[in-house]
Amino acid sequence: MPWLSGTERAGCAKILKFMSKGDLLSLSDTVTNKMIVVENVTEAMETILSFTKNAEELLRRKKVYRDLIFKYLANEGVVMPPNSEKHQLVKRALELWSSGKATVDESLQGATDETTQRRSTQTASDTTDLKVEVGFDPQALGQQFCQWFFQLLNSQNPSLGQLPQDWGPQHFWPDVKLRLLSKAGSEQMDEFLGAKLVSLRLLALTKEERLLLCPNLDPHGLRTLASPHGLVLVAVAGTIHRDEACLGIFEQIFGLIRSPLENNSWKIKFVNLKIRGQDALGGTEVAAPALSYNSSELQLLCS
């Protein structure tokens, strides 16, 4: 997967610094398909740079205005006619970066070189580790994870009469984020941050709201992706029930990362959950819902 070079990353970072906070947050949403929640300007910049496949793609974004690129080039000592069009400025910035003549912040350069270095070494070592690990298969991991997660969560539903299993914040990373989007009549988006809050909100679905989440583990309902640097995405669709009634469907994306301090067990780094009630489905067949996310959308989350 192509990454920004150190020079491109440093140059793009300088351009992003000229942007307003609102535009940065909006651009971060666009670049990640609203899958990653950012809290501030620094997080937004880091997310945009991490999820951008190439520099030209970023410079051509609507929010990266012509004037910002013009101002950046002027600061770099590149004089362009004041009436230059945006595509000409984009071309000139790309030429500047490929020539290696752009000035790079020492602090940024260290970080970008180190990041690039780390990515290349991780790509090499992580993929071999995964292969050595009895032919690591993300799809098999996704199946096992979903069976474990939904069995664990559903066991908290009192209407099942089961002994609740060991649910809690221990299954999540401390900085885990949950985005919960529900469409039932009106649309509502809630965000939760931190292992305790996230585990309590998910628990409330089954314990208080008495919902039962049934994942569709067939190939069209489950998709997984492994990134070279350790993140595994598991995306699954399924139906939601209460007692005998089917209330609608859900789509859930989990980001999983191993915890080296806990026997390399997988822990949840983020959760995006979309719930649609029957009335929002317009009579669609919900027996075995398919995922609406395609591979490239998931790839963005994995970048």
Q: 154 and 103 in one domain?
A: no
Show the tokens assigned to 31: 């670049």
Residue 195 belongs to a domain: yes
Q: 251 and 280 in one domain?
A: yes
pLDDT at 1 over 50: no
Tell me what the mean pLDDT of segment 256-273 comes to.
85
Residue 277 is predicted with a pLDDT of 83
Residue 1 belongs to a domain: no
Residue 112 is predicted with a pLDDT of 38
Q: For residues 114, 268, 258 and 25, what is the CA-based torsion angle, rounded to 10 degrees?
A: -10
Q: 173 and 61 in one domain?
A: no
Residue 122 belongs to a domain: yes
Quick: pLDDT tens for 117-158.
Answer: 433 333 333 333 332 243 467 788 888 899 999 999 999 999
Residue 274 belongs to a domain: yes
Q: 145 and 95 in one domain?
A: no
Domain boundary among 80, 109, 129: 129
Distance, CA of 178 to CA of 182 (rounded, Å): 13
**Are the beta carbons of 145 and 266 closer than 8 angstroms?**
yes
Residue 126 is predicted with a pLDDT of 35
Domain boundary among 95, 129, 163: 129
Interhelix angle 138-154/195-207, nearest 10 degrees: 60
Q: 175 and 125 in one domain?
A: no
β-pair partners for 266: 258
Q: 187 and 92 in one domain?
A: no
Q: 272 and 221 in one domain?
A: yes
CA 25 from centroid of its chain's CA atoms: 15
Residue 102 belongs to a domain: yes
Q: 147 and 30 in one domain?
A: no
Q: Which domain holds residue 14?
A: 6-129
In what helix (H) or strand (E) does residue 117 lie, and over which residues does it extend? Answer: helix 106-132
Question: How many domains does one find in the chain?
Answer: 2
Residue 103 is predicted with a pLDDT of 61
Count other Cβ atoms within 10 Å, centred on residue 75: 12
Three-state DSSP at 182 gives strand
Residue 255 is predicted with a pLDDT of 92
Q: 152 and 102 in one domain?
A: no
Domain boundary among 129, 149, 178: 129
Q: 278 and 144 in one domain?
A: yes
Residue 276 is predicted with a pLDDT of 86
pLDDT at 61 over 90: yes
CATH number for position 266: 3.10.450.50
Between 183 and 65, residue with greater pLDDT: 65
Q: 115 and 13 in one domain?
A: yes
Contacts of residue 162, defined as CB under 8 A and 6 or more positions apart, other chains included, come to 154, 155
Q: 294 and 219 in one domain?
A: yes
